[in-house]
Amino acid sequence: MKRILHILKKKDAPLAMEVIRNEALTHAITVILIQEATALCVEGGAVFVLEDDAPASTPYPKIGYSQMLDAIFQADQVVTW
């Protein structure tokens, strides 16, 4: 099973959402929301939000830059949107 990390930075990313949902069926998906994307609702995979960009209330766990860097190096593939 391939480990894929998606980093979303834009709030309007319908293609990204579709790809994440489809890939979550067959791969281990992690999503990190940054910048404008922190308010998105994502289906599929483990979802985190970058602490420095996180809104006051978010349903997702917050992570720091070092944890994001760890996730990048642990992934088999990294996709940014």
What CATH number corresponds to the domain at position 7? Answer: 3.40.1260.10
User: Mean pLDDT throughout 52-76?
Assistant: 96
pLDDT beyond 90 at 44? no
Q: Which of 71, 81, 80 is nearest to 3 (CA)?
A: 71
Q: What is the pLDDT of residue 81?
A: 96
Computed over every residue of the chain, the mean pLDDT equals: 96
User: Mean pLDDT throughout 12-22?
Assistant: 95
Rounded-to-integer distance, Cα 46 and Cα 29, Å = 6
Q: What is the pLDDT of residue 38?
A: 95
Q: Domains in the chain: how many in total?
A: 1
Q: What is the domain extent for residue 58? A: 3-80
Q: What is the pLDDT of residue 56?
A: 87
User: Mean pLDDT throughout 28-43?
Assistant: 96
